[in-house]
Copies of this chain bind each other. A is one copy, B any other.
Amino acid sequence: MNGFLKSVCELSPLSEDAVNELSECLCSADFKKGETIHQEGKICKHLFFVESGLAKHQYFHEGSQFIFRFFEDNQFFIATDCFFNNLPAHYSTIALEDSEISYLKYEDFENLCSKYHCFETFARKFVSIVAYTAISNLKGLLYLDATARYAKFLNEYGHLQQRISLGDTAAFLGISQVSLSRIRSRK
C-alpha cells in the first residue's frame, strides 16, 4: 500500500470499495531536484502527496522569491487557487530534492467525494488541516517579528534545517537573507 492511500485511511477510514476505487485512480511521478511539479499561471487541480523527497510552494514578487510552505515526506499538497477556485496557480511547486510524488486528479477526487461519504469526510479533514496550517502561519507573520518567526520555524521545521537553504528559509520567513544571517549571528 502506498503512502497516499495509507495517509488517507489514517485521517479517515475508508470503506473497502472506496479504497479499491481510489487505488485505481492514483498516479505517480518522479521529479529531480529543482524540477517544477506544477507551474504558476497554469491550472493544475491534482491532490498531490509527497511519497519521498521535499518540495516548496514558491512565488516571485518584484524579483524576490517568497515561499508559502515546505512539504516533506507523507504530506499532501495542492495548488490552492486551482483546487479550490479553478483559477490559475498563484505559485509554483518545486522539488527541493529528488522526489516521488503521487497524485489524484481532481475529477477523480470530486467523483470519490460524491460517491463515498467516507471519502468526503477525509476531504473535509484534509482541507481542515490546510486551513489550520495556513492560519497558524498567518498568525506568525501578523504578530511575530523576524527573530520570533525564525524561532517558530526552528521549532516546527527544525528537523528540515539541514535540507533547506538559508535563502529558502529567509524566503519562507518573508525577510532578506542578510536579515536572517544577522538574526542567526545575534544569538
Contacts and interface: CB of A to CB of B under 8 A. Distances in A.
Interface of A: 59, 61, 64, 66, 68, 80, 84-85, 90, 113-114, 117, 120-121, 123-124, 127-132, 134-135, 137-139, 141-144, 174
A132 B174 contact: no
B143 A141 contact: no
A141 to B, nearest CB: 4
Interface residue SS majority, chain A: helix
A66 B145 CA distance: 13
Contact of A124 (B64, B113, B144): B113
Nearest to A123: B124
A120 B130 contact: no
Contact of A66 (B120, B127, B142): B142
Contacts of A120: 117, 120-121, 124
B142 A174 contact: yes
Contacts of A137: 138
A138 B134 contact: yes
Given A130-B131, A134-B135, A137-B138, 16 more contacts: A59-B139, A61-B143, A64-B143, A68-B142, A80-B131, A80-B132, A80-B135, A84-B132, A114-B121, A120-B124, A131-B131, A131-B134, A138-B138, A138-B141, A141-B141, A143-B174
